[in-house]
Structure 1
Amino acid sequence: MLPQVIILNGTGSSGKTSVAKLLQEQLAQQYLNFSIDSVLYALPPSDLACMMKGEPITRGGYDYAKLVDGYHRCLPSLLDAGCKLIIDNAWIDSAEVDSLMTLLSPYQVCVIGVYCDLAEAQRRELARGDRAIGLAEYEYPLVHKVFNYDFTLDTSSISPEQGTNLIVQWLAQSYQN
């Protein structure tokens, strides 16, 4: 049986969201793609625009750590309702990961590290136009230090479809009935 939660962790612009969307279509069971972006895109448009430019959000009460904590706290409720989840973020804080894994401890979780060469992540970041320039570079030395991975994927020179196929093959081998 497939895990209830598939975590994709990697730098911004490493391909996590593209892979998550393709995984949703290829897996036999239905999964919600519920990334940190699901919460961030709920911010007021002006605050989101500031964040995407790498500018500080000055509206009172904004606290990125609070948003991440709220995101993490949503997950058990969705799982308790019977939803399966693919979640993604660039987790760089071990305390956040400890909190996340504590909340997910009652569930079967698979953690996948999504690697990408820095130069390629930077190229994608520029092409996207919806991320603060420099985010991938900031996250790069930190992002893969906070999890022990069940599987790793390097998206530097393969398409999201190829990467997704590798994950689907690994899941089929690792989570046989």
Structure 2
Amino acid sequence: MAGQIIILNGAPRSGKSSIARVIQESFDGAWMNLGVDSYEQITPPRLRPGIGLRPGGERPDLEDFVRHFYAALYESIAAHSRLELNVVVDVGHHDGYSKPLGILADCARQLAGLPVLFVGVRCPIEVIMERRAASEPDRAYVTASPGDPVPSPVRLWQEEVHKPGTYDLEVDTSLLSPQDCAGAIEQRLTGAPQPSAFQTLAQLPIDGQ
């Protein structure tokens, strides 16, 4: 039997990593975390942030690599699942690059036939800004000012990461603790099996076609 795959999709500082840790610590079975932070550690420094590249097209020199990075990541996710290992993945999917890539549809196709729960991790941008200011006080692009209360990179993440917004389940980390979010996910998994939203996403066009 294939291992369960849980994909947590949301903007940075939305709380995905905290939910992933709770899943690893409290869910039955072996849960491998193959998310964006783990993947960055194996990405050559000159090609970082890799799959963590922000929306806006600020690094067009990396965009050709991003599709390959995601393809490799999702091949690994599929391989783990086929070997009966459960996988939790925290990512920030978007196609807000300087050219359309259709990466989410590609990833969905790679997991065809495997059990996938696609979870949208939402958080109001005001809370995102508070968390960023607390965790990255020296990062200029996350610092609010009267003339720029929400810096463009942060706003773009919030706008792009939940497109098209097709999920099996959504949680709001401004209202729920990581434990509560994980509990909602576990409850969803114990229900009657349903077609994954990833089956719908696999039909999205590639490269804007």
Overall identity of the aligned pairs, in %: 26
CA contact (8 A) 2:3 2:83 kept: no
Distance 1:30 1:151 in 2: 22
Residue 150 (structure 1) aligned with residue 168 (structure 2): yes
CA contact (8 A) 2:36 2:89 kept: yes
Moved more, 70-79 or 81-90: 70-79
**Normalised by the size of structure 1, how large is the TM-score?**
0.79
Q: 1:21-40 maps to which residues of 2 (within 5 A)?
A: 21-40=21-40
**Normalised by the size of structure 2, how large is the TM-score?**
0.68
**Which of 111, 127, 135 is matched with 1:128 structurally?**
135
Distance 1:37 1:167, change over 3 A: same
C-alpha offsets along residues 143-174 of structure 1, whole Å, 9 cap, x if unaligned?
11135211110111332122222222332334
Distance 1:37 1:65 in 2: 17
Distance 2:160 2:21 in 1: 25
C-alpha offsets along residues 53-78 of structure 1, whole Å, 9 cap, x if unaligned?
x896x8x9x93343223222222222
Q: 1:22-101 maps to which residues of 2 (within 5 A)?
A: 22-44=22-44, 63-93=65-95, 95-101=102-108
How many corresponding residue pairs? 174
How much does 1:46 deviate?
Answer: 7.4
Other-structure match for 1:108? 115
CA contact (8 A) 1:36 1:68 kept: no
Amino acid at match of 1:102: R
C-alpha offsets along residues 21-72 of structure 1, whole Å, 9 cap, x if unaligned?
10122212221111022111223567659x99x896x8x9x93343223222
CA contact (8 A) 1:97 1:146 kept: no
SS at match of 1:66: helix
Distance 1:2 1:169, change over 3 A: farther
CA contact (8 A) 1:41 1:48 kept: no
Moved more, 110-119 or 132-141: 132-141
C-alpha offsets along residues 3-35 of structure 1, whole Å, 9 cap, x if unaligned?
721111111110011001101222122211110
Distance 1:3 1:46, change over 3 A: closer
Consecutive unaligned residues in structure 1, runs of 5 or more: none
Amino acid at match of 1:117: P
CA contact (8 A) 1:3 1:109 kept: no
Other-structure match for 2:125? 118
CA contact (8 A) 2:2 2:114 kept: no
Consecutive unaligned residues in structure 2, runs of 5 or more: 96-100, 143-150, 194-209
Moved more, 69-78 or 113-122: 69-78
Higher RCO, Cα 8 Å, sep 6+: 1
CA RMSD of aligned residues (A): 3.4
